[in-house]
Amino acid sequence: MQGRGGRLLVWWLMFLSAAMPFFYALYCAFINPTGPDVVKEVLEFLGDTAFIYLLLTLSVTPLRRHLGQSWLQRFRRMLGLYCLFYAALHLSIYFGIMVDFSALFEELVKRPYVLVGALAFIVLLALGLTSPKFMMRRMGRRWKSLHRWIYVAVILVWLHMFWQSRGDVGEAMLYGAVTVLLLLLRVPRVEEMFKKNRKGYCSE
Amino acid sequence: MLIRIPSSSHPSPSEITPESVYLNRRQFMGLSVSAGMLATAGWAQAAQTPLQAALQQKLSSVQKSPYRTDEKQTPFEHVTQYNNFYEFGYEKSDPAEYAHEMQVDPWSLEVSGHAAKTGVYTLEDILSWMDIEERIYRLRCVEAWSMVIPWVGFSLASLIKRFEPGSKAKYVFFETLHSPEQMRGQRSAFSSIEWPYVEGMRMDEAVHPLSFMAVGLYGKALPNQNGAPLRLVVPWKYGFKSIKSIVKIRFLEERLLTSWEKSAPSEYGFYSNVNPKVDHPRWSQKEERRLPSSFFSPNRIPTKMFNGYPEVAGLYQGMDLRKYF
């Protein structure tokens, strides 16, 4: 794609395709329920979707550094904000429909997976609120160290999922494997191994 | 006490085709060749197995039991398409999709332990002893959803009596079919459940009039995904106690660990009575979603002690139900 028009088209394509899970969730929730326990199903779907967008956000930098695919870079913030969006919907359905809002405190105290999920959300919210360009400029070096908290968030999110496994841990293991891979790619030693053949694609 | 662990190459009784069925099939094939063309009715009759015949006969004369409720029944499609039957997968839709891979006819039940009449019984034998009735029970899943289901079957007490358990029979344990070739969930590498699925009750719980053995629902034979052809229904306990597709009953003096107790002892106890005051460690049991639930009507209702069957309270007199959850 060349020129401003082309770039705009790609942006809109990304923006709309990333919103597809939202429209799918609306469709399941209000038009054609997927089953008799649709609130729970949509809740879990939105949670999974938020996790996937978090992993996509985390894969942007390794894709650029190790595979030379830099085009995704422009969409890193968009992917991260979508993750926050889906996480917010997930959280609202939990405390708005699945349990009483008045049970918020009790749930946080009594259930470690809820607490861990809520902590992850607070981190994501902080990252989302500081994501505009002017915040980036204003915060300078501190912006980068704050946004490293995404690594903490992804571990918390994984724990949130793993703690809810019942009978079968296959799904949590799959997400865990991707998480570990994406984190490993940030370890300087592992990075070096990749970089040997890829000079010219370094520096952030 | 001897626990026989069958090797995987050893066919379970349910896998062996009885000679009568085998011969019937021969006879039927011969018939259809000589007759050339068969009327539909004649064909259906000729193709019927002894179990099908017994089920059909019993299902045509079902008595309505006083054990019923006026609450709205969960539609048939949900009862038969939203299931937990981990032997076929972990998604609620998996059992409806894959349970047809299980062979439920012929079916037999192996009875062992402290009883006078142990041995292997075919399901049609068992059916011939029993009067069949319909009971409408609430089913409360430990995952905090619930249904109202019209089951068809007979009381567990009437079955147990037939086997004449002795005084040493303090517990009754049940086992689901174990057949990884037919049950894809049993082939999963990530399962934290040990197969075969094992459940049990104290003898006095088992012979309580509410304990029920179902062979059907909504007036029809049980669909495979609902635990065909023979399952337990214990309405005052969480759903996972109501073990499906039963191939073994054991009368024991000592208590075994059930499958869920082994998998997560801090979360699932032997009794697992529905109790709004004792939370699951990971979620509250105060409320339940009566299915179907939707965004327009989440249908959250308070959970009742013993799932609204207070007549069982006597079984637990003097017991701390927080400790014996």
Q: Rounded to an integer, what distance in angstroms lies between the CA atom of residue B312 and that of residue B242?
A: 16
Look at A39 and B294 and tell me if their CB atoms are within 8 Å.
yes
Query: What is the band of B46 on the pLDDT scale with cuts at 50, 70, 90?
Result: low
Phi, psi angle pair for A39, to nearest 5°: -60, -45
What is the C-alpha R_g of chain B? 20
The structure tokens 């319909």 sit at: B134
Question: Tell me: the pLDDT tens digits for B64-121?
Answer: 999 999 999 999 999 999 999 999 999 999 999 999 999 999 999 999 999 999 999 9
Answer whether residue B212 shows pLDDT above 90: yes
Res B36 pLDDT > 50: no
B93 touches chain A (CB under 8 A): yes
Q: Specify the DSSP class assigned to residue B255.
A: P
pLDDT at A44 over 60: yes
Q: CA-CA-CA-CA torsion for B287, B289, B295, B297, nearest 10 degrees?
A: -90
**Residue type at B137?**
Y
For A106, name the nearest residue in chain B, comparing CA atoms only. Answer: B284
Q: What is the pLDDT of residues B298-324, one digit of tens each?
A: 999 999 999 999 999 999 999 999 999
The residue type of B217 is L
Using a CB-CB distance cutoff of 8 angstroms, which residues of chain B are in contact with residue A32?
Answer: none
Residue B34 has pLDDT above 50, yes or no: no
- Among A53-67, A98-112, B3-17, which range has the highest average pLDDT? A53-67
Q: What is the C-alpha to C-alpha distance for residues A172 and A29, in angstroms, rounded to an integer?
A: 25
Flag if B189 and A37 touch (Cβ within 8 Å): no
Which residues of B fall within a CB distance of 8 Å from A107?
A: 284
Instruction: Give the model's confidence band at B31: pLDDT under 50 very low, under 70 low, under 90 confident, else very high.
Output: very low
Element (H, E) at B147: strand B145-155
Higher pLDDT, A72 or B240: B240
pTM for this predicted structure:
0.84
Is residue B189 within 8 angstroms of chain A, CB to CB?
yes
**Amino acid at site B50:** P
Q: Which of A80-89, A109-118, B135-144, B238-247 has the lowest mean pLDDT?
A: A109-118
Chain A interface test: which of B78, B283, B301 (most A C-beta within 10 Å): B283
Q: Above 0.85 for ipTM, yes or no?
A: no
Structure tokens belonging to residue B314: 């006597």
On whether any CB of chain A is under 8 Å from the CB of B190, the answer is yes
DSSP H or E run through B153: strand B145-155
Contact B86 A167 (CB under 8 A): yes
How close does chain A come to B81, measured CA to CA in Å? Answer: 8
Of A193 and A95, the one with more pLDDT:
A95
**CA–CA–CA angle A109, A37, A108 (5° rounding):** 5
Please list the helix, strand and coil fractions of chain B in percent, rounded to the nearest 5, in that order. Answer: 30, 25, 45
The rounded distance, in Å, linking the Cα atoms of A106 and A104 is 6
Count the Cβ atoms, other than its own, within 10 Å of residue B258: 22
- B171 versus B47: the higher-pLDDT residue is B171
What percent of chain B clears pLDDT 70, i.e. is strictly above it? 86
Minimal Cβ distance to A170: which of B190, B263, B298: B190
CB-based contact (8 Å) between B81 and chain A? yes
pLDDT at position A197, please?
A: 57
3-state secondary structure of B231: strand
Say whether B86 and A29 touch across the interface (CB within 8 A).
Answer: no
Q: Chain B residues with CB inside 8 Å of A176's CB?
A: none
Task: Give which of B247, B207, B206, B209 is closest to B229, Cα–Cα.
Answer: B247
Query: pLDDT by residue (tens digit) across A174-201?
Result: 999 999 999 999 988 777 776 665 554 4
Q: List the one residue out of B258, B291, B28, B43 whose CA is nearest residue B148.
A: B291
Q: Is B125 helix (H, G, I), strand (E, B) or coil?
A: helix
* Mean of the per-residue pLDDT values of chain A: 90
Residue B25 half-sphere exposure toward CB, CA atoms < 13 A: 6
> In this predicted structure, what is the pLDDT of residue B280?
93
Nearest to B144 by CA among B313, B309, B298: B298
pLDDT band at B2 (very low <50, low <70, confident <90, very high): very low
- Residue A128: pLDDT over 70: yes
Name the residue of chain B whose CA is nearest to A160's CA: B282
* The pLDDT of residue B185 is above 60: yes
The DSSP output letter for B100 is G
Confidence of residue B16 (pLDDT cuts 50, 70, 90): low
Q: What whole-number distance in Å separates Cα of residue A19 and Cα of residue A82? A: 8
Q: Residue B196: is the preceding peptide bond cis (ω within 30°)?
A: yes
Residue B17 has pLDDT above 60, yes or no: no
Residues 57-76 of B with CB under 8 A from A: 74-75
Q: What is the pLDDT of residue B29?
A: 47
pLDDT in tens, B140-153: 999 999 999 999 99
In chain B, positions 229-288, which contact chain A (CB-CB < 8 Å)? 263-264, 279, 281-284, 287
Q: How many CB atoms lie within 10 A of CB A177?
A: 10
Task: Supply φ then ψ for residue B246, to 5 degrees.
Answer: -80, 130
Q: Residue B282 is which amino acid?
A: R
Q: Is A113 on the interface with B (CB under 8 A)?
A: yes
Of residues B145, B190, B296, nearest to A37 (C-beta): B145
Q: Cα separation of B228 and B213, whole Å?
A: 11
pLDDT > 90: percent of chain A: 67
